[in-house]
Amino acid sequence: MKKIKNKNPDLLIVGAGPVGCVVAERAAKVKKWSSLIVEKRHHIAGNCYDEINKKGLRIHKYGPHYMRFKKKKIFNYVSQFTKWIKGNYIVKSYVNGQLYPIPINLNTLEKFFNRRFKNKNEAKNFIDTLKIKKKKIKNSEDFILSKLGKEIYENFYKNYTIKQWGIHPRKLNKSVVGRLPIRFNRDPFYVNQKLKVMPKKGYTKLFENMTKNDKIEILFKTPYEKIKNNITPNIATIYTGPPDIFFNFKYGKLDWRSLDFKFKTFKKDKVQECVQINFPNDQKFTRKVEIKHVTKQKSKFSTISYEFPKSKGDPYYPINNKKNVNLFKKYKKLIKKLEKKNIYFEGRLASYRYLNMDEVIEAALNLFKKLKNKHS
């Protein structure tokens, strides 16, 4: 652990992911506040971290991050720190030996059911005949059965969900699969936002650029627990990690889904036909990703990443079921009380919810506004 230069920073920030970097950047530029960021890993950017492998290919170390923006003002803010390349993300699902577009759209339905639809209304009417009516949508299984019927559910959703979450869909909140759009058009792209992009030189470079300021000090390989009693921030502490760990599991452990990644490099320009292929029913991995489809790097080699979900390890996804929702509500009450002591929780892990990257950045900007208004 490096020696701390400033033991009395204006802000103590736990985590050098998107939230920590954005708050520190705004604090330094707008208010001239100093920030000490402590990060337990050896690198910046959190799970967005990317690196160059031995063959000179950029890989996403913790899984693919598909940047898209709903709001132009958030895009404009991030654009200060990077140039962009188009992020035309195409995802397919391997079912019964065939590749189908994901999210499910008209092309998926036509190929799977081996029939043509004249227009979206004809497709909707067909799907209406497959839907299983539910008086109340209680879980993820109910949601898909009521929207698309049994055949789509069993071929595309059921086993993928079990593999991804380690839990049957009927035991997961409907919001888990509710995030996945169902389209009655032929849009081939995974996300439908107009601003679909990828940082030209990668996410790591983006967040390095964001934190290039004398007012920002970052300590890597530094767990918060090791320094919290030695640092006294003048204004606030920003915590971006899991809340149950912060409170020493006072009410019990929140459940998370973790991942293992395996990377394999091939002497081929491209290995698969699109950036991501999901495997709901075959293989132990959930998906394989060839990020070169998006980074557009020129090389005679290409690297594939394989994702294997597991129950133990670094936290990636909150498991949204009744037990965890109720448990987080207890921690949320403690979090609210700490705001009076100028300790704030923000980010995917800290708020125990899945957020897209633009949503994370917006949340960080809003947190800075709150700090600025309170401490002007």
What's the N-to-C CA distance of the chain in angstroms? 34
The kind and range of the H/E element at 94 are: strand 91-95
- 8 A C-beta contact, residue 307 and residue 286: yes
pLDDT in tens, 285-336: 999 999 999 999 999 999 999 999 999 999 999 998 999 999 999 999 999 9
pLDDT (tens, 9 = 90+) of the chain, 376 residues, equals 567 888 899 999 999 999 999 999 999 999 999 999 999 999 999 999 999 999 999 999 999 999 999 999 999 999 999 999 998 899 999 999 999 999 999 999 999 999 999 999 999 999 999 999 998 999 999 999 999 999 999 999 999 999 999 999 999 998 888 777 789 999 888 887 889 999 999 999 999 999 999 999 999 999 999 999 999 999 999 999 999 999 999 999 999 999 999 999 999 999 999 999 999 999 999 999 999 999 999 999 999 999 999 999 999 999 989 999 999 999 999 999 999 999 999 999 999 999 999 999 999 999 999 999 999 7
Is 11-44+211-254+319-374's fold the same as 104-178's?
Answer: no
How is residue 105 written in tokens? 């759209």
Indicate if the alpha-carbon torsion angle 19, 20, 26, 29 is positive or negative.
negative
CA distance 60 to 45: 11
How is 110-166 classified by DSSP, letter by letter?
HHHHT---SSHHHHHHHHHHH----SS--SHHHHHHHHH-HHHIIIIIHHHHHHHHS
Q: What distance in Å separates the CA atoms of residue 321 and residue 138, rounded to the nearest whole number? A: 11
> 24: which 2 tokens?
């520190």
* Spatial separation of the C-alpha atoms in residues 376 and 365, rounded to whole Å: 16
Q: What is the pLDDT of residue 1?
A: 58
Element (H, E) at 358: helix 357-374
Quote helix, strand, coil % in the chain, to nearest 5.
Answer: 35, 20, 45
Partners of 266 in the β-ladder: 302
The tokens describing 157, both together, are 């959703």
In the chain, the amino acid numbered 3 is K
pLDDT at 192: 79
Residue with the two structure tokens 């698969």: 272
CATH architecture entry for 11-44+211-254+319-374: 3-Layer(aba) Sandwich (3.40)
Edge-to-edge, what's the strand order for the sheet holding 195-199?
67-69, 195-199, 84-86
Residue 141: its pLDDT value, please? 94
Domain extent listing, the chain: 11-44+211-254+319-374, 104-178
What is the Cα–Cα distance from 283 to 288, expressed in whole angstroms?
A: 10
Cα dist from 114 to 158, 183, 203, 369, whole Å: 21, 18, 41, 53
DSSP 253: P
Domain covering 104-178: architecture: Orthogonal Bundle (1.10)
Angle of helix 203-210 versus helix 18-31 axis, rounded to 10: 30
